Amino acid sequence: MPSADLPLLHAVAERSLLAQATGVLMWRLHLGPDEAAAELRRWADEAGVGVPAVCDSLVNVVSVPDHPRARDLELLSRIQANLRRYGDDY
């Protein structure tokens, strides 16, 4: 694969994570798409990280709780607390 394709693949992967994380919030917290996107941005701002990091953590926490990347991220506890705050037993 030519190295010129790597930025495109990276962008596609980030958009896929964003779509998955938005879907998780819409499903788990019963939010609309705009509300879910705003919530992801708010969590990223609170944690001082980028939205892709929040998305990666959220998707890993929900789908693979023992994923090493999810376990290593400090953001994990914030995501769990935010999900619990909405009364969702994930």
Q: Side-chain half-sphere of 80: how many Cα atoms within 13 Å? A: 11
The reported pLDDT for the residue numbered 4 is 66
In a domain, residue 19? The reply is yes
Q: What are phi and psi of 73, to 5 degrees?
A: -80, 130
Whether the CA torsion 31, 90, 71, 82 is positive or negative: it is positive
The total domain count for the chain is 1
Mean pLDDT by 10-residue block, N- to C-terminus, for the chain (90 residues)?
Answer: 68 79 79 87 82 78 59 60 58
Task: Note if the pTM is more than 0.85.
Answer: no
Whether residue 36 contacts residue 25, with contact meaning beta carbons closer than 8 Å, is answered with: yes
In a domain, residue 90? The reply is no
Which SS3 state, helix, strand or coil, does residue 2 take? Answer: coil
- Cα–Cα distance between 30 and 50 in angstroms, integer? 23
In a domain, residue 46? The reply is yes
